[in-house]
A = this chain, B = another copy of it.
Amino acid sequence: MKTSIGVGLIGTGYMGKCHALAWNGIKAVFGDGPKPVLVHLAEVNAEIARKKADEFGFDKSTGDWRELIGDPAVEVVSVTTPNAFHAEMAIAALEAGKHVWCEKPMAVALADAERMAAAAKAASRVAVLGYNYIQNPLIRQIGQILADDTIGTVNHVRLEMDEDFMADPEALFYWKSEASSGYGALDDFGVHPLSLLQVLFGRPTKVFAHLSKPYADRPTREGTRRAVETFDIASVLFELGEGVSGVMALDRSAWGRKGRIVLQIFGSKGTIVFDQERFNELQLYVTSDRPTELGFRTILAAPQHAPYDRFIPAPGHGLGFNDLKIIECHELLKRIAGQDARVIDFDIGLGIERTVHAMAQSHHEQRWINIA
Q: Which A residues have a C-beta under 8 Å from some C-beta of B?
A: 14, 17-18, 20-21, 24-25, 27-29, 31, 35, 54-57, 141, 144-145, 150-152, 155-156, 158, 160, 163, 165, 167-169, 208, 210, 212-216, 233, 235, 237, 239, 243, 245-247, 249, 251, 253-260, 266-271, 277-280, 282, 284-285, 287, 289, 291-300, 302, 304-305, 311-323, 366-368
Min CB distance A64 to B, Å, is: 23
Stoichiometry, as copies per complex, reads: 4
Chain B CB count within 10 A is highest, among A27, A212, A293, for A293
CB distance from A13 to the nearest CB of B (A): 8
Alpha-carbon separation in the docked complex, A235 to B237 (Å)? 7
| Nearest 3 Cβ contacts at the A-B interface | A258-B316, A320-B320, A256-B285
User: Once the chains are docked, how many angstroms separate the CA of A293 from the CA of B196?
Assistant: 20
Closest B residue to A323 using CB positions? B320
Beyond A253-B266, A258-B317, A293-B297, list 17 extra A-B contacts (CB 8 Å).
Answer: A24-B25, A28-B55, A152-B169, A156-B212, A156-B233, A167-B287, A237-B237, A255-B270, A258-B302, A258-B316, A259-B316, A277-B300, A293-B299, A297-B298, A318-B321, A320-B322, A322-B323
| Sample (25) of A-B pairs whose CB atoms are under 8 Å apart | A14-B312, A18-B312, A20-B28, A25-B25, A28-B57, A35-B54, A151-B255, A155-B212, A155-B233, A156-B253, A163-B316, A214-B266, A247-B249, A255-B270, A255-B287, A256-B271, A256-B296, A258-B302, A259-B314, A260-B316, A291-B304, A311-B321, A318-B321, A320-B323, A367-B367
**Cα distance A281–B54 in the bound complex, in angstroms:** 33
Question: Is the CB–CB distance between A210 and B233 below 8 Å?
Answer: no
Least CB distance from A255 to B in Å reads 4
Contacts of A312 in B (CB 8 A): 14, 18, 321-322
Majority secondary structure of chain A interface residues (helix, strand, loop or mixed): mixed
Instruction: Indicate if the CB atoms of B259 and A255 lie closer than 8 Å.
Output: no
Given A235-B247, A247-B247, A318-B279, decide whether A25 and B14 contact each other with a Cβ distance below 8 A: no
Residues of B close to A284: CB separation below 8 A: 293, 295
| Min distance, Cβ A36 to any Cβ of chain B, angstroms | 10
The interface residues of chain B lying within 8 Å CB-to-CB of A269 are: 255
Interfacial chain B residues near A298, Cβ < 8 Å: 295-298
Complex interface: chain B residues within 8 A of A239 (CB): 212
B-chain residues with CB within 8 Å of residue A313 when the two chains form the complex: 14
CB distance from A11 to the nearest CB of B (A): 14
